[in-house]
């Protein structure tokens, strides 16, 4: 009996080089491995080293998204969403390519892994996947214009001598004009490095503008 096992894109990391070497050797004794050395590109992420810091970007992936939307030559803009934008799911003028809208929003959701500055806007646009309208597509193109001007933005991870954990949270009140739910967001830092963040709509309707619900 034979078993065919194919696994691609594996990262092995740690602070013990001898243990890493042993793990790789043990894996190689069971499966054929091709060791690529230090990570430079992994699942759409580009890694650049500068001394004791790492810069994670998704520049190539972002460029492919722009090409998919035929916006690789678009003019960049300064913000991911225009000030005062209110997106209504009941707009009547439907977008004629809903599959394209869903595909681009899915790609932008993946882009938020290294671009937390997009999280709030993509959270809003991803709630409109069922019946996207021209207004929704216009807002999506605005995000792509912002991405065009910030292709090389990403996350920086620096070596720290301290492990101070800091968390920040905020919320708005009844910002969604469709169901009056609020949006909560938080960011957690270990030292100077962002390790987790989120922006999502609350599950229930808040009857007060106080932030106790978000903090809890």
pLDDT tens column, 45-77: 899 988 888 899 999 999 999 999 999 999 999
Is the confidence at residue 145, as pLDDT, over 80? yes
pLDDT tens column, 168-194: 988 877 677 677 778 888 889 988 888
Domain ranges of the chain: 56-155, 163-215
- Mean pLDDT computed over 195-206: 80
- At residue 3, the pLDDT reads 47
State pTM to two decimals: 0.77
* Core vs surface per residue 160-169: b (16+ CB within 10 A) or e: eeeeeeeeee
pLDDT tens column, 6-37: 567 788 888 888 998 898 888 888 888 888 87
- At residue 207, the pLDDT reads 66
């Amino acid at each position: 009996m034979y078993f065919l096992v194919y696994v691609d894109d594996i990262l092995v990391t740690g602070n013990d080089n001898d243990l890493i070497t042993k793990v790789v050797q043990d894996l190689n004794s069971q499966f054929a491995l091709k060791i690529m050395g230090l990570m430079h590109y992994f699942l759409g992420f580009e890694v650049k080293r500068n001394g004791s810091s790492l810069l994670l970007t998704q520049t190539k992936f972002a460029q492919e998204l722009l090409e998919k939307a035929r916006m690789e030559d678009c003019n960049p803009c300064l913000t991911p969403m225009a000030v005062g934008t209110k997106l209504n799911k009941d707009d009547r003028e439907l977008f004629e390519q809903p599959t394209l809208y869903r595909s681009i929003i899915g790609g932008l959701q993946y882009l938020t892994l290294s671009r937390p500055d997009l999280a709030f806007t993509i959270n809003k646009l991803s709630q409109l996947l069922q019946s996207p309208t021209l207004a929704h597509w216009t807002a999506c193109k605005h995000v792509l214009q912002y991405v065009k001007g910030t292709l090389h933005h990403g996350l920086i991870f620096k070596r720290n001598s301290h492990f101070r954990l800091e968390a920040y949270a905020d919320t708005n009140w009844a910002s969604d004009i469709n169901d009056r739910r609020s949006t909560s967001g938080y960011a957690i830092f270990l030292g100077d490095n962002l390790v987790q963040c989120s922006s999502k709509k609350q599950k229930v309707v808040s009857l007060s503008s106080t932030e106790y619900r978000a903090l809890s």
